[in-house]
């Protein structure tokens, strides 16, 4: 799992999941990663190969991505960056 060191919030979780738990055929294990993601983007991504409703996380704000080559490295890196930013600790708010 990947967490911010100062607030301990997760921004990515890599795990092996049985394919049938993701709605796929078979019981073989599939390496996946969960990312925190914008709910609007989740709907679009889930229509693409290699994307699944979040496994073991909130399906409203997380998405599961297969790490079997079906999703490009660039898209995976973009989602990692977005997840990191979405979970980064809030800084002190400006006072006016």
- Domains of the chain with bracketed CATH: 2-87 (3.90.1150.30)
| pLDDT higher than threshold 80 for residue 94 | no
N-to-C CA span, the chain: 38
* H/E segment holding residue 41: helix 39-45
pLDDT (0 to 100) of residue 91? 65
pLDDT (0 to 100) of residue 96? 47
**Please, what is the average pLDDT of the chain?**
90
List CB contacts of 56: < 8 A, sequence separation 6 or more.
13, 15, 34
pLDDT (0 to 100) of residue 92? 39
Q: Could you tell me the pTM of the whole model?
A: 0.86
Section 73-81 average pLDDT: 97
**pLDDT tens-place string over residues 17-64:** 999 999 999 999 999 999 999 999 999 999 999 999 999 888 899 999
Other beta carbons within 10 angstroms of residue 34's beta carbon come to 25
Helix (H, G, I), strand (E, B) or coil at 64: strand
């Amino acid at each position: 799992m990947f967490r911010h060191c100062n607030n301990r919030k997760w921004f990515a979780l890599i795990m092996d999941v049985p394919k049938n738990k993701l709605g796929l055929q078979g019981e073989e294990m599939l390496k996946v990663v969960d990312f925190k993601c914008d709910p609007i983007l989740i709907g679009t991504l889930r229509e693409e190969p290699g994307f699944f409703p979040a496994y073991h996380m909130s399906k409203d704000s997380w998405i599961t991505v297969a790490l079997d080559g079906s999703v490009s490295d660039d898209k995976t890196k973009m989602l990692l960056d977005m997840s990191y930013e979405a979970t980064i600790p809030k800084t002190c708010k400006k006072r006016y």
